[in-house]
Structure 1
């Protein structure tokens, strides 16, 4: 099945590059969606074709592939290129967006979805609605960062988007798992007894998962750093970073700590201190190239899988209105969460013009949301939650991902006559052959040689 997915990803990438010319991940997902729709429509005329394709897709454990496979590599590939000095300058906004923004969005989306679904005569329990809020709140702006760069987004917004996405993925998974236990739906350990909704108990659980992950990551990062210092062979050093990403994720998962946060922290440590003091220039070049390639390949496969999931999605006609309204709910919650954070911060630190609009529209949802939805154990709400998630993710990637450049340009017009705030770098116009390379350039802090403002 892996061979089939790689082959399909390669063919889809070729079709997109030759004929569609969209950003790679978005174009691949569009090709997969069109192919899935074609199979569905051809079902009555091609006996067994759709069923065979759907059976193959159903055999893919999306939750296992993404949350316990790809996520370790994607998060490490993103964090190893992020500069800590840039994160530190934007730390108030990043931490508030990743923590307060994700929590507030979870409850806003969950409460609104619970009310709207009840109004549509599709009632689900409140805790199940909050699960939908938790899995759909983490942003996944991987596919849009290259577009933000080419559209001339301020460096400040790029750093905020990258930092938020790295940390809210991990926090979103933690919130989701806590809510699963509160609802008695802990799929990892079978039918678990529901936890009592006690703030102290929930707080300690969050502290254990997040705090423990940070401590474990620092320990693993320091050990890897010391090993990197003692060798000068890029093959060995690339292998050490690969072992750190895979081994740390598996260990944190086994200890019931937040594996995504552990990988992000370790990636930041090795990507900054390790790159500066434990790697030669040749090693840095090979490490960067390796992780950019891993990032690009896995993202293409991930977005291909999202498109193919349409073949097995249990959509009912009566759920279409609920799916459309869920898009409005998620966007509104995102805007409220961002505005409540960026607005007050403007009185303390300089913020880019149009930051609220760009951060709202650029906050894409992706494969992690779909994976968490698919990981839900069987219950009366699962199929509906999965459908709502798919609606939001597809709209997010195809519509928001392809129009965020326009939003950035509109925000840019409003700041054209405004002197840049102190400490903000001018926008850089860097165009590369792939979104993965753009992302690598973005997070490595490419010098500002070509300002667009």
Structure 2
């Protein structure tokens, strides 16, 4: 992604003079790509399935409460903190964004990107419990974020939306609940098929059919495709362990999805880098982008630190620090920003979103391993447990 950004900056600065044909072709290519459809409709489904298939369901059960709270309540808190922060600070920079669009930015920037998080956590060497918290939150918060984003976008566009708790609850139930249920059904059916025919070629083809066919079904039913893929991946990854699969079948299946994960990650981050070519006058939004980075990080602190105070299990300061710094934004935020219909505010939101995402992936992504000090976390967690037990006694 860094290489793509450097090339993009060079082309934007000197391309029309030095390499006019290359600049023209690349600009035309990026203009012709529907990034929202490519990411949300294709790449994300493969990446989420690959992420879900490698998560242990028992580890997820142990961390169910924090994962659920962070991926629902945390998203809502972050949305409003970012929305209010941008609304009151941007006017000092000469940018007047209506409150509803500030809230819209808060909704699209609040979900952490499972693609970026999962790929970086592999190298961070954090404890299994902490990895499950961060990965679980990023896998499941898309459903909540899409519902919030959809409601706010309809309000911003002037569409009539009933904001009652019942209507929003039904929307969330249909979007998230329907996606999870469909994923479990697909996972169960295909797992049974794989059990009957224990062959590595058929197993790979079956998992591919789940991802591609499952997305089309979810899209037709107007439910969450990403959550369908997460649920299907989780179910298949854990159900298949219960029966004795041939070692060659299991080996091929795991290696195939690891390869798909690596290839699509590389393509995705390359796309994010070259998206710079699509933004006009990005230099005008550098300062607002830096301000947005601070606001988004502050919102992340509040949305993580606040809920932990109401949980039974005590979180050590180091764990909270990793959860905050590990909340990496990525392609999902850019895809949502690009799905906003073109108007006088869409370019501003996209430019600021790009600044936040680039900072998040490069700075947070490259330093999370240093922030995540496994020994320090273990010592602090032991101290917190001993304090808790003493209080109970």
Q: Among residues 148, 151, 154, which one is paired with 1:181 in the alignment?
A: 154
Q: Residue 113 of structure 2: SS of its match in structure 1?
A: coil
Q: Give the Cα separation in 2 of the matches to 1:151 and 1:312.
A: 32
In the alignment, is residue 275 of structure 1 matched against residue 241 of structure 2? yes
Q: Specify whether residues 51 and 214 from structure 1 end up closer, same or farther in structure 2 by C-alpha distance, changes over 3 A only.
A: same
Q: Give the Cα separation in 2 of the matches to 1:70 and 1:146.
A: 14
Give the aligned partner of residue 42 of structure 2: 69
Q: Among residues 368, 371, 385, which one is paired with 1:407 in the alignment?
A: 371
Give the aligned partner of residue 445 of structure 1: none
Q: Give the Cα separation in 2 of the matches to 1:299 and 1:197.
A: 37
Q: Residue 232 of structure 1: SS of its match in structure 2?
A: coil
Shift of 1:301: 0.1
CA contact (8 A) 1:182 1:197 kept: no
Give the aligned partner of residue 35 of structure 1: 7
**Which deviates more from structure 2 when the two are superposed, residues 351-360 or residues 59-68?**
351-360
Give TM-score scaled by structure 2 length: 0.91
Q: Specify whether residues 168 and 144 from structure 1 end up closer, same or farther in structure 2 by C-alpha distance, changes over 3 A only.
A: closer
Q: Mapping of 1:150-165 within 5 angstroms?
A: 150-165=123-138
Q: Among residues 111, 125, 132, which one is paired with 2:98 in the alignment?
A: 125
Q: Residue 45 of structure 1: SS of its match in structure 2?
A: helix
In the alignment, is residue 396 of structure 1 matched against residue 357 of structure 2? no
Q: Specify whether residues 299 and 149 from structure 1 end up closer, same or farther in structure 2 by C-alpha distance, changes over 3 A only.
A: closer
Shift of 1:70: 0.3
Q: Give the Cα separation in 2 of the matches to 1:355 and 1:246.
A: 37
Q: Specify whether residues 219 and 408 from structure 1 end up closer, same or farther in structure 2 by C-alpha distance, changes over 3 A only.
A: closer
Q: Specify whether residues 264 and 151 from structure 1 end up closer, same or farther in structure 2 by C-alpha distance, changes over 3 A only.
A: closer
CA contact (8 A) 1:174 1:258 kept: no
Give the aligned partner of residue 45 of structure 1: 17
Shift of 1:375: 1.2
CA contact (8 A) 2:8 2:274 kept: yes
Deviations 1:342-387 (A, max 9, x none): 2333xx2254550111111111101111111111111221000000
Give the aligned partner of residue 242 of structure 1: 208
Deviations 1:183-202 (A, max 9, x none): 337xxxxxxx3313333222
Q: Which runs of 5+ in 2 are unaligned?
A: 386-393
Q: Among residues 289, 293, 300, which one is paired with 2:255 in the alignment?
A: 289
Q: Mapping of 1:2-41 within 5 angstroms?
A: 29-41=1-13
Q: Give the Cα separation in 1 of the matches to 2:100 and 2:343.
A: 12
Give the aligned partner of residue 388 of structure 2: none
Give the aligned partner of residue 96 of structure 1: 69
Task: Say what the alpha-carbon RMSD is for the aligned residues.
Answer: 2.2
Shift of 1:215: 2.3
In the alignment, is residue 199 of structure 1 matched against residue 138 of structure 2? no
Shift of 1:165: 1.0
Q: Which runs of 5+ in 1 are unaligned?
A: 1-28, 186-192, 423-453
Shift of 1:254: 1.5
Shift of 1:258: 1.0
Q: Mapping of 1:333-352 within 5 angstroms?
A: 333-345=299-311, 348-349=312-313, 351-352=315-316
CA contact (8 A) 2:179 2:223 kept: yes
Q: Give the Cα separation in 2 of the matches to 1:319 and 1:108.
A: 21
Shift of 1:130: 1.6
Q: Give the Cα separation in 1 of the matches to 2:84 and 2:114.
A: 25
Q: Give the Cα separation in 1 of the matches to 2:228 and 2:36.
A: 19
- Structure with the bigger percentage of helix: 2
Give the aligned partner of residue 263 of structure 1: 229
Give the aligned partner of residue 369 of structure 1: 333
Shift of 1:421: 7.4
Deviations 1:103-134 (A, max 9, x none): 21112112211222234332222222222111
**Which deviates more from structure 2 when the two are superposed, residues 200-209 or residues 137-146?**
137-146
Q: Among residues 130, 135, 144, which one is paired with 1:171 in the alignment?
A: 144
Q: Residue 218 of structure 1: SS of its match in structure 2?
A: helix
